[in-house]
Chains A and B, each alone.
Chain A
Amino acid sequence: MEAEKGKTAKYLKAKRPVPKAVTEHLKYFTRTKKALINALKEGEKTVPQLAEILALPADEVMYHLMSLLKYGFVETGEMDDMDEYFYYKVKDHGKDKS
């Protein structure tokens, strides 16, 4: 029963399988994150621009983009000419190891 310190996740995994919805959700987030970062690597963009490129609802783009801002993958740029939307850009190359 003793679980080694620093490796206790395995211990719980044996007792409590991870629900499928949780892994599916992770996949979805990882996919959206990649798509957003790739689109921003090509140049800074606003939320409506990203929504169009990714063919996703703008509110969903907003939610994920703001999460990436919080996690340090993305940073805020200037405002557009109409003073309506901010541009966002990748930070530290989207934390790429490459």
Chain B
Amino acid sequence: MPESIKTLEYDVLVIGGGIAGGESALNLADIGYKVLLVERDLTIGGKMILLSKVFPTLDCAACITTPKVSEIARHPNITIFTGAETEKVTKLGEHRFEAVIRQKPRYVNVSDCTGCQLCEEACPVSVSDQYQYGMVGRKAVYIPFSIASPRAAAIDIENCTLCGACERVCPTQCIDFTQTEERFLVKVKSVVVATGFELFDPLKIPRYGFGQYKNVITSMQMERQLAPTRPYNTILRPGDGKMPDNIAYVLCTGSRDKTVGNPICSQVCCMYSIKQAQLLMGALPMADITIYYLHIRAFGKGFNEFYAQAQDMGVEFVKGKVGKITEKENGNLILRYEDIEAGQVKEAEHDMVVLSVGVLPNRGISETFENQKLELDPFNFINQTDILASPAKTSIEGVFVAGTASGPMDIPDSILSGGAASAETTSYLRRAVS
């Protein structure tokens, strides 16, 4: 059956609406180019919009991201597709790309949804909230989180019982179960890939007990616990709701570790762990925080001072390699580690453990490029073919890379990289086609 497919035209396709893609889109749109921003998730903002505060300034992440995200959303030259996947990208010639974009049904007309949440209240279903990394439930119809953009409901059709309660209470009648998938053929002159990173899955290191011991959590879960839109009433152990007072951090979980296939440093884990330790000292003044590290990499502007500040606040740093974590009956955890300075194997008890998980490549996107190869580097990030002279350049002329899609980096560097990608895209677009 031939499917109808709408054709759309823009100057630039930006794939991925995190901080890097958002920055690229905004710069290009400001110059006057028409941009299509395609985001896989239900909201733009990427990982940053979910963070608590950001190192090294300790600015609230939402306070920086929210105005940026709304500027992107309101820009007359930017069209945003959320809940959309890039099926394929084909280069027909210089300044001539064609992409097929698949928009999955949200079952809610975003433009009519007021975000009133009456549907959420009516929905009887509760399933794990992916935006709270599983620490709490959410309804089958849900607004991802309060600062999501668009701030509109979506239906999780996989978990919906189709009881109709949500659409009966919706005051604007914007819920529509007749929606189906739409496909678009998009013609553009250039492409920016800003598909970001994946988090390391600590289930791959069974000796840390993640998944099995409920008081071993990831740093992203701790980020959520520290954010104003936290899953609990305060910082608590997921295992039994106890307020922790002796928290350990295990740095380099899934980074610089050949045994899990990721030999490189994730660049942000040291600093975000130090940040979280400082925030925890503020939130739980009685708590002891210990950071088990191999090396602290604090190379950025103001980073060393930030590290020293944590030491002054009383955060304990132990140069040690954690071998194994076991659980006691009361939910506390015993860390067995090699104290590198003392050259001894030691044990320590903590009531909660945070695994500082690493940054991994998000590999899928290169396979969507059809007739030319979007090369990956040896670590499976997108290869920067001319890293010194034009850092956004990829193996395909006219396709540029922004942010952590090219390798681990923090927010300031992701924004810089987004800026570089927009500048290089502009110069490509202005180059005459012979």
Contacts and interface: CB of A to CB of B under 8 A. Distances in A.
Interface of A: 3, 5-13, 16, 18, 22-23, 25-26, 29-30, 33, 46-48, 51, 58-59, 61-67, 69-72, 76, 79, 83-86
With most chain B CB atoms within 10 A of its CB, the pick from A11, A12, A46 is A12
A73 to B, nearest CB: 11
A7 B241 contact: no
A45 to B, nearest CB: 11
Interface string B213-230: 010000000000000000
A66 B243 contact: no
B: contact size bracket = 35 or more
A63 B136 contact: yes
B161 A47 contact: no
Given A23-B161, A26-B161, A70-B137, A8 B178 contact: yes
Given A25-B127, A26-B124, 6 more contacts: A6-B167, A6-B173, A22-B125, A22-B159, A26-B125, A62-B241
Interface of B: 121, 124-127, 135-139, 158-164, 166-168, 170, 173, 175-178, 214, 231-234, 236-243, 331
B267 to A, nearest CB: 32
A71 to B, nearest CB: 8
B162 A18 contact: yes
Contact of A3 (B135, B158, B178, B237): B178
A12 B177 contact: yes
Given A18-B162, A23-B161, A85 B177 contact: no
A interface: dominant SS: helix
Nearest to A67: B137
Nearest to A74: B233
Given A7-B164, A9-B162, A59-B214, A51 B178 contact: no
A79 B214 CA distance: 22
Contact of A25 (B125, B167, B234, B331): B125
Contacts of A46: 241
A30 B331 CA distance: 28
Contacts of B176: 5, 8
B178 A58 contact: no
Contacts of B175: 6, 8
B240 A83 contact: no
